[in-house]
Amino acid sequence: MTESRPAAVIILAAGEGKRMKSSTPKVLHAIAGRSLIGHVLEAASAVDPAHVVVVVGHGRDQVLAHLEEVAPWADTVVQEEQHGTGHAVRIAMGALIAEHAFTPGPVIVLSGDTPLLTGQTVAALVEAHTSSHAAATLLSAVLDDPSGYGRVVRDSHGAVEAIVEHRDADASILDIAEINAGMYVFDSAELMPALDRIGSDNDQGEQYLTDVVGILRAQSHPVSAVRVPDSAEILGVNDRVQLAEAAQIMRDRINDRWMRSGVSMLDPTTTWIDVDVDLEADVTLLPQTSLLGPTTVASMARIGPGTTLTSCEVGEGAVVIHTWANLAVIGPRASVGPFTYLRPGARIGVDAKAGAFVEMKNAELGDGAKVPHLSYVGDAEIGAGTNIGAATIFVNYDGQQKHRAIVGKHARVGSDTMIVAPVTIGDGAYTAAGSVVTEDVPPGAMAVGRARQRNIDGWVERRRPGTASAQAAAEHDAGETDSGATDR
């Protein structure tokens, strides 16, 4: 049935979204790593429309820039002044006909602020519209609390007769629990003349798209309604409370899908996964873990608790505990954390380890190499099998420029070494604990870059007499003498 391919989807997004109290246009607020309008565009693409046109108005510069980035294939039209949903659709139809070689057919109208709408529901709406031969088909829902919404008024045969906005409704209409979700399919041939007949004689003085329903019925065109199976789908985001509500529902949907495909989650209510994340079966996610951006996690990896990974790649069987990472690659069976900070360009090799209180940036840790404790590794390359002692710092910044350091394979860098870049420590080389390494260390050499220790005997008793330290030293000396006497 090629004729059922929608001629266009029109997405209304010109409204101000005042109740968000935000400098960001409402439809650009995000849940699960995608803007509200991005979610609607995704649902719209499911029915493969010939055109998608977004009506923009308030905050148009930001909205247009965003659309250019996430949906360059979508057309846009500016509604300079917002005279209502009917006005917005008329402008969109005008643009489609004038600029986009529009061919008549089913036209879907959606709102830019309903991120939970699914592609399946849009497809079901189109399917119902095509098979019923109605001039218009709207999506409705039965709500416990229908206040604020337009009510679906049916005649004695149960056919849709009109939609009456809440603020224009009398008491008997306010009793109707079936509401208009604000998502429709129209036949373009019937829609165009009906749009021209919309008035603005209502409480808001606006041109209501919903009036098209009464106009079509008055001309004996059939209008049908499809009830959405899950009323969460039509949740419109008008304020930050609804934004959080939508985010939770989206989180649960995403988590359910991953659990059903083999991912374990100890606490799905504190596990947040963006829409672009990809997980293999047998991944385990521990509480308070967020996987954001296009993060991927391979099988048998265990992430969390308390971990946030943004745009990271995690290999098979890796373990990542209490970690904050962005644009990092964690190799198969690697171990990261607890309390590890991986910044862009950190690459942890196979079986490698970045341990507690380690920060890495633009640095590669070779296969089986370890940075177990308290280190900063910036702009460095560490060879396979090398061990970096506790509290080693890669000194990459001279105050003006960043420099790179290289440590070869199977090297042993002593604890608290300062590796002052640019510098190279050769394969199999050692550094003495506490060294400041400023010159290259040849393969197999031991670098000692620190002052030799000298002990000044009796200094404390002479220079800090009467202190607890002096007393402790004196007691120790006495003990040595006593035990020496009895032992002998």
Cross-strand pairs, 290:
272, 308
Q: Which among Ca ion, ligand UD1, none contacts residue 368 (Cβ within 5 to 8 A by kind)?
A: none
Which option in Ca ion, ligand UD1, none does residue 112 bind, with CB closer than 5 to 8 A by kind?
Answer: ligand UD1
Which partner in Ca ion, ligand UD1, none is near 180 (CB below 5 to 8 A by kind)?
ligand UD1
Q: Which residue has the tokens 């290999």?
A: 315
Whichever of 13 and 74 has its CB closer to Ca ion, that residue is: 13
Please report how close the Cβ of residue 278 comes to Ca ion at its closest, in angstroms: 33
* Residue of 166, 373, 403, 410 with catalytic role: 373
Residue among 13 and 342 whose Cβ is closer to Ca ion = 13
Supply 373's token pair.
């404790």
| Residue 163 touches which member of ligand UD1, Ca ion, none, C-beta under 5-8 Å by kind | ligand UD1
Q: 234 by DSSP, 3-state: which?
A: helix
Judged by CB, which is closer to ligand UD1: 174, or 474? 174
Residues 233-252, mask of contacts with Ca ion (x by CB under 5 A): ---x----------------
Q: What residues pair up with 310 in beta bridges, in sequence order?
A: 292, 326
342, interface contact from Ca ion, ligand UD1, none, CB < 5-8 Å by kind: none
Q: Are 431 and 417 in contact (CB under 8 A)?
A: yes
| Cβ-based nearer residue to ligand UD1, 82 or 299 | 82
Q: What is the DSSP letter of 133?
A: T
* DSSP letter, residue 158: S
Do 472 and 481 contact (CB within 8 A), yes or no? Answer: no
Burial pattern 323-344, b for ≥16 Cβ within 10 A else e, equals: bbbbbbbbbbbbbbbeebbbbe
DSSP code per residue over 160-227: EEEEE-GGG--HHHHT--EEEEEEEEEEHHHHHHHHHT----STT----TTHHHHHHHHTT--EEEEE
Least distance (Å) between residue 307 CB and ligand UD1: 36
Per the CB < 8 A criterion, the answer to whether 35 and 132 are in contact is: no
Instruction: Please report how close the Cβ of residue 81 comes to ligand UD1 at its closest, in angstroms.
Output: 8
Residue found by looking up tokens 């009830």 in the block: 227
**Any contact of residue 337 with Ca ion (CB under 5 A)?**
no
Nearer to Ca ion, 33 or 236 (CB): 236
208 binds, among ligand UD1, Ca ion, none (CB under 5 to 8 A by kind): ligand UD1
Q: Which stretch binds Ca ion (CB under 5 A): 232-240, 283-291, 367-375, 480-488?
A: 232-240
Helix, strand, coil shares, percent, the chain, to 5: 30, 30, 45
Compute the least distance from the CB of residue 162 to ligand UD1, in Å. 11
The nearest distance, CB 109 to ligand UD1, in angstroms, is: 9
Tell me if 195 sits within 8 A of 86, measured CB to CB.
Answer: yes
Report the residue number, 7 or 213, with the smaller CB distance to Ca ion: 213
Nearest distance in Å: CB 136, ligand UD1: 13
Least distance CB 236 / Ca ion (angstroms): 5
Measuring CA to CA, which residue among 29, 204, 13 is closest to residue 110?
Answer: 13
Query: Which residues on neighbouring strands pair with residue 52, listed in sequence order?
Result: 9
- CB of 238 within 8 A of CB of 17? yes
What amino acid occupies position 63?
A: V
Partner whose footprint covers residue 87, from Ca ion, ligand UD1, none (CB < 5 to 8 Å by kind): ligand UD1
Shorter beta-carbon distance to Ca ion: residue 149 or 258? 149
Tokens of 396: 């990459």
- 394: β partners: 419
Picked from ligand UD1, Ca ion, none, the partner binding residue 378 (CB below 5 to 8 A depending on kind) is: none
Residues that bind ligand UD1 (CB under 6 A): 12-15, 55, 79, 82-85, 87-88, 111-113, 149-150, 163, 165, 179-182, 208-210, 236
Q: How far is the CB of 106 from Ca ion (least distance, A)?
A: 23
Tokens of 99: 């600029």
Give catalytic status of residue 29 as yes or no.
no
Q: Name the strand (E) or helix (H) holding 137.
A: strand 136-142
d(CA 299, CA 306): 20
* Residue window 246-285: x/- pattern of binding to Ca ion, with contact defined by CB under 5 A: ----------------------------------------
Q: Are strands 430-431 and 412-413 parallel, antiparallel or unpaired?
A: parallel
Q: Contact positions toward Ca ion, by CB under 5 A?
A: 236
- Which residues are the active-site residues? 373
